[in-house]
């Protein structure tokens, strides 16, 4: 590799620029890069818990018979397709 390797020149330039950059003393928070803050970007406080009624969750399990029937239909369909392809 030559002494004027572009990656090396770029890394040296970035290191030199980073050492001359001033330290950032502003607090970290929401806002624009320019430093303008917008109060609407801060997260809102959670609302107070109110008395609510919840519906009971109904367990919706798929019956085993339905799964077996679906697998049988898919197997028959796949077998029919393979059978037709072997005839061609």
Model confidence at 63, in pLDDT bands (50, 70, 90)? confident
Say what the pTM is: 0.34
The reported pLDDT for the residue numbered 54 is 76
| Cα dihedral 57→59→60→64 (10° resolution) | 180
End-to-end CA distance of the chain: 62
pLDDT at position 77 = 98
For 9-62, what is each residue's pLDDT tens digit?
898 888 888 887 776 666 666 655 655 555 555 556 666 666 777 777 877 888
């Amino acid at each position: 590799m030559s002494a004027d390797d572009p990656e090396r020149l770029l890394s040296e330039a970035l290191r030199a620029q980073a050492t001359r950059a001033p330290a950032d003393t502003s607090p970290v928070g929401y806002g624009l890069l320019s430093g303008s803050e917008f109060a609407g970007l801060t997260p809102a406080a959670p609302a107070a818990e109110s008395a609510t009624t919840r519906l009971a969750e109904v367990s919706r399990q798929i019956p085993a018979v339905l799964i077996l029937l679906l697998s049988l239909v898919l197997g028959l369909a796949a077998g029919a397709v393979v059978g037709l392809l072997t005839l061609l």
